Amino acid sequence: MFELLTLVLLWLLVGIIIWYVLQKLIPKEYYTWLGAFVMVLFIILAFLTPTSRVVSTVWSVLSLPFKPLGLSLLLLAAAAAKMDKGGLKKPGGTLVIAALLILLISSTPFVAYALAQKTEQAAIQFDQQRRELCDLQCPTTLTPPEGQTAAAIVVLGWGTTQANLPYRRQIQLTDTGDRIIYAAQLYQDQLRLGNRPLVIVSAGPRGDLQGKPEEIVEARDIETLLINMGVARDDIVVEPTGVDVRTSAVAVGRILMERRLGDRVILVSSATNTRRAALTFARVGIRVIPRPTNFYTFESGGSLKRRLRIADFVPSADTLVVTTRVIEEYLLSVYYFLRGWLAPLGI
């Protein structure tokens, strides 16, 4: 009941925002039925074909006001429109100050890591909460995390590598490439437990490249890396269509069904999106053993803690990226919830 009420309230909020944009922000002289039709058509398209490149491109533009850099640029642009004879008319000065404060706060390491820690704690607590529920409902004692096995290890690999261009002598990892290394480590751990799992690599075509399908599918490069790290070629399954959590979950579910591997997998993803990924997989009927990586912060309450330094209050571009990723994850979680793609915790 609470979930349904929250869903209704969120949809109501989305409707109010759309109404406000159409009625208040767009000047009446430019407000035409054609413009309204285009916006409504995009919203429908975004829900019917969320993986379309057109939709993702338009969304990257429309979501700018919800991100620190985009909101700051819009405020500065609005302030520039108030320029008159070398000065700023009201409220131009206020808009500039607001833009600077947003950039200052969002690019400060102390703020960025505090936000990231909240998201990463959710990834850790997710498995703990499921274990607590099972302690109350399951008939047997749960196996400790280090001893759990599964028929498959799923790696959400999109965005973990750079394109293997001819002049490069190696496949380069991005800042989320730890997923690949961790997946290879988990594979070896499973072998030591007497289990030989499949490693399903879900990563579709690179959106910024053109070429033969087999050359631009990121999963192929990840497969090469895993083989070099000791994963048997016969134990790797390439899933070349996944471009986000939802499409990967659906594709992995199909592979599990075709190969009769059951419904239990070890899921490797970044800590910031592990909770959303686990609930998305659960919605399509896949039980998940979450294995988050790419942490930005330390676990709260652990023996190791981040030392507070003066540098933590000096803005940097790197921490602006961290803040933006956390905000994007919040936005995506709301979108997935509205679409009904997230399973309740008890499932």
Higher pLDDT, 2 or 260: 260
- Counting Cα atoms < 13 Å in the Cβ hemisphere of 53 gives 6
DSSP 140-173: SPPPPGGG---SEEEEE-TTSB----TT-SSPPB
- For the ranges 43-47, 160-164, 238-242, which has the lowest average pLDDT? 43-47
Q: What is the three-class DSSP state of 92?
A: helix
**In the predicted structure, residue 50 carries a pLDDT above the cut 70:** no
Determine whether 24 is exposed, middle or buried from the number of CB atoms within 10 Å of its CB (0-12, 13-18, 19+).
exposed
Q: Please state whether beta strands 264-270 and 152-156 pair in parallel, antiparallel, or not at all (unpaired).
A: parallel
- pLDDT (tens digit per residue) in 135-148: 545 544 455 566 78
CA distances from 63 to 55, 56, 154, 276 (A): 12, 10, 29, 19
Q: Find all residues with CB under 8 Å of 105, minimum gap 6, and list them.
A: 68, 111
**In the predicted structure, residue 261 carries a pLDDT above the cut 90:** yes
Domains and CATH numbers, the chain: 149-296 (3.40.50.620)
Distance of CA 33 to the CA centre of its chain: 35
Q: Find all residues with CB under 8 Å of 314, minimum gap 6, and list them.
A: 108, 109
At residue 100, the pLDDT reads: 94
Q: Are 170 and 221 in contact (CB under 8 A)?
A: no
Beta pairing partners, 91: none
Higher pLDDT, 153 or 57: 153
Q: Are 226 and 173 in contact (CB under 8 A)?
A: no
Q: Are 230 and 267 in contact (CB under 8 A)?
A: no
**pLDDT tier for residue 44 given thresholds of 50, 70 and 90:** low
At residue 139, the pLDDT reads: 45
Measured in degrees and rounded to the nearest 5, phi and psi for residue 178 equal -60, -25
In residues, how long is the chain? 347
At residue 163, the pLDDT reads: 79
Beta pairing partners, 266: 153, 289
Whole-angstrom Cα distance, residue 70 to residue 76?
10
**In the predicted structure, residue 6 carries a pLDDT above the cut 70:** no
Structure tokens at 112: 């960025």
At residue 144, the pLDDT reads: 58
At residue 140, the pLDDT reads: 44
User: What angle separates helix 317-339 from helix 68-80, to the nearest 10 degrees?
Assistant: 100
